[in-house]
Structure 1
Amino acid sequence: MTFLDAPLAALDGTPGTLGDIIGGRAALLVNVASKCGLTPQYTALEKLHEEYADRGFTVVGVPCNQFGGQEPGSAEEIQEFCSVSYGVTFPMTEKVEVNGADRHPVYQALVDTPDIEGRTGDISWNFEKFLISADGEVVARFAPLVTPDDPRLVAAVDALLP
């Protein structure tokens, strides 16, 4: 069993796993929040999702309320905010914890991955990003301030896809 097999429901409550949500595509997994100074990254995340979807790529948003209580809403409120405010079409999961004793199993597997500066461990803030290959290999980790249109992130996505 890998982290792709860990139970993780869709934002609408549909049960499944991260593997079900990704559906055999490469993915950028991002812990997201609606009331964060980094929330405008949704625009670039959606653009990245749209630009690379035809090559077998998806962004996956993972709501988390652990950083300053910046994702307090219900699943319905999160979905409406993302859709109306940013036109988000990529999949979103249920709200999870990414740090601490109740850290979701997906994040338990991810936190040992070093970011581009070599840092591992706890998720530092909203909008930390993990690039995952179609076969479930964690390829890269990007800090929250690395935007989805950062040339390093875009090059990593591009290099991963056919």
Structure 2
Amino acid sequence: MTAFKKVLESNMKIRFHDCDPFNHLNNSRYIDYLITAREDQLLEQYDFDVYQLASEKGIGWVSAQTQISYIAPAQLMEEVSIQTQLISFSEKSLLFEAVMWNRDKDILKAVMWTKLVHFHLQTQKSFAHSEALMQFFGAVVNPLSDAADFETRVKQLKQAI
């Protein structure tokens, strides 16, 4: 089986239209940046196209729960580094982590965990992942053995700086 990178990383620039009057990234836009980074990384690193799956097979994932901690503001025109990883999965769901840093990765900006539920677009119901998807998730998952919950993980990342 192919050896996949477990932690994916890319850079993004904070844009004017996403900022508040203080030139900080608007809180709701952090989620957009983190999810966009994950989607791009999946396509670039794994050739995993969520939009192709939706259009060809009528399947996708919907957000069931999002936890986010805002640590430090991301500034207008700042280049940030976003790391994402799948930290657990089950028959019907995925849990991924996204972490935003400054470019040098010495200032933690935000941490997010999102639970996604596998969804059939035609039936509008959740359903089980295929065996092929389960094998793929098994190859890319990066469990966090020492972080039992979101708050603990945020503390660990803060202390690691």
**Please, what TM-score do these two structures have when normalized by structure 1?**
0.30
Higher radius of gyration, 1 or 2: 2
More strand by share: 2
**Please, what TM-score do these two structures have when normalized by structure 2?**
0.30
